[in-house]
Amino acid sequence: MTASGANGSRTIGVAVLGMGNVGAEVVRIIGENADDLKSRVGAPVALRGVAVRDLSRPRKVSQDLLTDDPAALVARDDVDIVVELMGGIDPARELIRTALQNGKSVVTANKALLAEYTGELATAAADAKVDLYFEAAVAGAIPVVRPLMQSLAGDTVDRVAGIVNGTTNFILSEMAQTGADYAATLAEAGRLGYAEADPTADVEGYDAAAKAAILASIAFHTRVTAADVYRQGISSVTADDLVAAKKFDCTVKLLSICERVRGADGSERVSARVYPALIPLSHPLAAVNGAFNAVVVEAENAGRLMFYGQGAGGAPTASAVLGDMVMAARNKVHGGRGPLESTYASLPIASIDDVPTRYYISMKVADKAGVLAQVAGEFSKRSVSIAAVRQEGAGEDARLIVVTHRAPDRAQSECVAALEDLESVIKVSSVLRLEGTDD
Amino acid sequence: MTASGANGSRTIGVAVLGMGNVGAEVVRIIGENADDLKSRVGAPVALRGVAVRDLSRPRKVSQDLLTDDPAALVARDDVDIVVELMGGIDPARELIRTALQNGKSVVTANKALLAEYTGELATAAADAKVDLYFEAAVAGAIPVVRPLMQSLAGDTVDRVAGIVNGTTNFILSEMAQTGADYAATLAEAGRLGYAEADPTADVEGYDAAAKAAILASIAFHTRVTAADVYRQGISSVTADDLVAAKKFDCTVKLLSICERVRGADGSERVSARVYPALIPLSHPLAAVNGAFNAVVVEAENAGRLMFYGQGAGGAPTASAVLGDMVMAARNKVHGGRGPLESTYASLPIASIDDVPTRYYISMKVADKAGVLAQVAGEFSKRSVSIAAVRQEGAGEDARLIVVTHRAPDRAQSECVAALEDLESVIKVSSVLRLEGTDD
């Protein structure tokens, strides 16, 4: 099935699907590092072809390697490993499934696809006894998938919390630093190449939610899909929020949180959620700025671990892709396979309503006596205890900021709804959750 | 060769050698997490026995599992995996080699042994087609070995720099915070259980050097042993050094550094070295305090990655051991093996003399005109350029502090020797290197 190398040894054939930023870097490195790759794999690695959408665009690869027929490339007998970097659900899903069914190992960075269809694809990989690797799908160059899946295989993970979207982290870091508002900073991010023409997937948290689904699935040995992830983006975060956060010695970050929580009946559940949250400036994630990513893992025995690095970009993401490619190729040469999907725990998904959270609520209030008592009454009615209150401004600008202690999210959001109905509350101008505190 | 489980499926038998802090935690977790381990491995994991030196000491494990004959335990037919946590070279070396030769996979945290004999042991593992895993040998719970070996398998690592010894990091963090001197802080560390009764291996950098050898071997695909590592401990670091460091916006850390450097002829070499060094307070390693560990990896495509967590302690180290044990057990059940030792690059070791370093030199000088000119002359003679000078005190207490730019370490140390011979230099009181700067 596989072509033989010059000296009779096996050659590992690789097909790359997609030649955007990451694909171009993967192709470059396979060429430049051929000798190292050969030594590390134990056999030569040969690029069999690169599938692109537009054949006429000039590319830094020999023209005869290019094809606009990915299905034909994947079907070639001399392809052992398919590297899928085209993104999107279709046709990636079908191409990967076919590749796996035909005994080819697959390396992919496609988080949107994995967040929906890891189950289907992992089953195909297991049936065909081949590898499905996807380190690059979460946090770019940072090894997170492999440490969670392998290094922590003997531990019990309680929590994974990360900054895994570079676009939103760039925007929030800039807003914190410059005081500019969301719209202006998003436009700036676009000009600098940190935000796409249509930034929805990033700023509305879809990308972070897909990554949360992937991380939660691995950490809790449970199949979690994007639909299971509670999601809120950063488009309603204001310049005022960042100023207010600073007054509480906090900053605002878009977090992907995967947590083992207890249901009302005491049973274990998985909470996976994405939202912008205040975190204390002393928290390790607070110092992660710009396009950098970081993931904090808390496990019963390991304690708190942090992984930090570049979460996006062509070369960093290609590094993760190629690490997977080398491992898949080694397995082809030496036998054996990487870990399979592990879903034995099959924990139920917790509703955000039941997850204990803390809230930061900023509201415009009437400048008169008794407002605080009224507001506090709404919290106490719902057994939500208040951790801190700040009254600011006067007259037209009178503002009240409340930070609560931990309570079920439903109770917190019911407090917010009740505040909106209070006569003395003119407007609830901002609601954010608070994370990264012990109490 | 292996006993069958109740329902005919295979059981993976584990022998634990040594029941100190880490061994006791490994035994506890194997018992408590039996169900999870079974699901993750794909077969039950059974503890066959625990080898201890003193059978009479009370232990938290059934007495009939204890033995003082590790060789007999390792030789048992129903042992598939040997977890070696006794430490030291003998008899661990012989026990591990025999285990591997008899087809048992081995998990070890024994850095001193690995820093000398990885070659011999890895060869035995490769010959017998079994696993030799040692994530816990470097930086406790922090996944570093596996990310370097696997996640970065497609990248070119340029540098690994870490704080990998908790004892010395606790001492240096305390000295920085309290202003106390080395001897008093070491005594305090002993009282708090952060330093052993004989602290030599930690404070003189032997432990950090063993870990540097292990990291360098993996990062550069070259066999590096402890003898190849330039080593200097922290026992001569003074309270004054930490005060002076702060004035340069730096702190002092014991670093294990593995670096790809160029020889005089332009060829690549590996530098592995351990010494206390000034690093800028803005460097990510500067914030790693107390008994925590962190490792920064710089690779051509991935860029800078950082791994942070607990570098020692029973439960954290046990977490790393058990991750390896699960992977070794999975391979026994499903077939396949983890990566082999990779030494194809076989780069020569660079002498510290040829490695470009920066120096911080503090000296007592005569309080008279012309001293700085004399001192500067010695540097310029050897083509070492000065980055900063600070003159402090007067009369008896006149002191000169010089920080140099990068130059071969030999030239730097020759400058120090020349300064000691200068009439106007009363005493060179402190010499430390400076790391973590770009220039």
**Cβ-based contacts of B147 with chain A (< 8 Å):** 143, 146-147
Which positions ≥6 away from A357 have C-beta within 8 Å? Answer: A406, A407, A408, A409, A412, A433, A434, A435
Q: Judge whether A268 and A260 are in contact, CB under 8 Å.
A: yes
Give B226's DSSP letter.
G
When scoring B134, B296, B301 by the number of chain A Cβ atoms within 10 A, the one with the most, hence best to mutate, is B301
Percentage of the residues of chain A whose pLDDT score is greater than 90: 91
pLDDT for A4 equals 38
Q: Which of B156, B304, B323 sits opposite A153 (nearest CB)?
A: B323
CA nearest neighbour of A361 among A298, A420, A303: A420
Closest by Cβ to A303, choosing from B141, B150, B321? B141
Q: What mean pLDDT, rounded, does chain B reach?
A: 95
The tokens for B416 are 């120090």
> Rounded to an integer, what distance in angstroms lies between the CA atom of residue A282 and that of residue A311?
22
Whole-number percent of chain A with pLDDT over 70: 98
* Number of A–B residue contacts, CB under 8 Å: 193
Give the chain B residue nearest A130 (alpha carbons). Answer: B336
**Cβ neighbours of A337 in B, within 8 Å:** 334-336
Give the chain A residue whose CA is nearest to the CA of B26.
A154
Q: Cα separation of A37 and A348, whole Å?
A: 42
Q: Which band of pLDDT confidence, cut at 50, 70 and 90, is reported for residue B100?
A: very high
Q: Which helix (H) or strand (E) holds A158?
A: strand A157-163
Q: Do A154 and B302 lie within an 8 Å CB cutoff? A: no
Cβ of A301 within 8 Å of Cβ of B154? The answer is no
- Is residue B247 part of the annotated active site? The answer reads no
Q: How far apart are the CA of B50 and the nearest CA of chain A, in angstroms?
A: 19
Instruction: Give Cβ neighbours of residue A91 (< 8 Å, ≥ 6 apart).
Output: A70, A71
- pLDDT at residue B438 in the model: 76
CB contact under 8 A, A301 and B25: yes
pLDDT of residue A6: 37
Q: Do A334 and B337 touch (CB under 8 A)?
A: yes
Cβ(A68)–Cβ(A53) below 8 Å: yes
Average pLDDT, integer, range A160-169? 97
Per DSSP, chain B holds a count of helices (H) and strands (E) of 14, 17
- CB < 8 Å to B342, chain A: 39-40
Find all residues with CB under 8 Å of A212, minimum gap 6, and list them: A164, A224, A229, A256, A257, A258, A272, A273, A274
Inspect the interface and report whether the beta carbons of B303 and A321 lie closer than 8 Å: no
Mutation choice for A interface testing from B150, B159, B163 by most A CBs within 10 A: B150
The Cα B434–Cα A362 span in angstroms is 47
Sort strands A250-262 and A157-163 into parallel, antiparallel or unpaired.
Answer: antiparallel
- Give every CB contact of residue A99 below 8 A, 6+ residues apart in sequence: A74, A79, A82, A106
Of B146, B321, B334, the CB nearest to A146: B146
* DSSP symbols for A357-372: EEEEEEEEE-SSTTHH
pLDDT at res. A337 = 87
Contacts of B330 in chain A (CB under 8 A): 153, 339
Q: Check residue A438 and give its pLDDT.
A: 76
Identify which has the larger pLDDT, A291 or A412: A412
- The alpha-carbon gap from B136 to the nearest alpha carbon of chain A, in Å, equals 10
- Search chain B and give the residue with CA nearest A305: B309
pLDDT digits (tens, 9 = 90+) for A221-252: 999 999 999 999 999 999 999 999 999 999 99
First to last CA, chain A: 59
Residue B175, pLDDT score: 97
Structure token pair of residue B129:
């087609």
pLDDT score of A2: 41
pLDDT > 70? residue B346: yes
Cis peptide before A147 (omega within 30 of 0): no
> Which one of the listed residues B211, B332, B368, B381 is annotated catalytic?
B211
Could you read off the pLDDT of B393-435 as tens digits, one per residue? 899 999 999 999 999 999 999 999 999 999 999 999 999 999 9
* pLDDT confidence bin for A9, thresholds 50/70/90: low
Mean pLDDT value across chain A: 95
pLDDT band at B263 (very low <50, low <70, confident <90, very high): confident
Identify from A21, A130, A134, A150 which residue to disrupt to test chain B contact, counting B C-beta atoms within 10 A and taking the largest count: A150
* Strand extents, DSSP E, B302-424: 303-310, 356-365, 386-392, 399-404, 407-408
Confidence of residue A439 (pLDDT cuts 50, 70, 90): low
> For residue range A357-369, what is the model confidence (pLDDT) as tens digits?
999 999 999 998 8
Q: Is residue A7 over pLDDT 60?
A: no
Within 10 Å of residue B248's Cβ, how many Cβ atoms? Answer: 17
What domains does chain A contain, in order, with CATH numbers? 12-141+315-334 (3.40.50.720), 145-310 (3.30.360.10), 355-434 (3.30.70.260)
Position with higher pLDDT, A33 vs A337: A33
Partners of A32 on chain B (C-beta within 8 Å) are none
Q: Of the given ranges (A90-99, A113-122, B210-219, B365-374), which has the lowest mean pLDDT?
A: B365-374
Kindly report, residue by residue over A397-406, the tens digit of the pLDDT. 999 999 999 9
For the record, the structure tokens of B123 come out as 């060869």
| B17 in a labelled binding site | yes
pLDDT tens, position by position, B368-393: 889 999 999 999 999 999 999 999 88
* A66-67/A45-51 β-pairing: parallel
Rounded to the nearest 5°, which phi and psi values hold at A220?
-115, 10
Sheet of strand B105-108: strand arrangement: B66-67, B45-51, B12-17, B81-84, B105-108, B132-133
Instruction: Please tell me which residue in A104, A211, A253, A332 is annotated as part of the active site.
Output: A211
pLDDT of residue A413: 97
Instruction: Write out pLDDT tens, residues A34-53.
Output: 999 999 999 999 999 999 99
Under the banding of pLDDT at 50, 70 and 90, the label for residue B439 is low
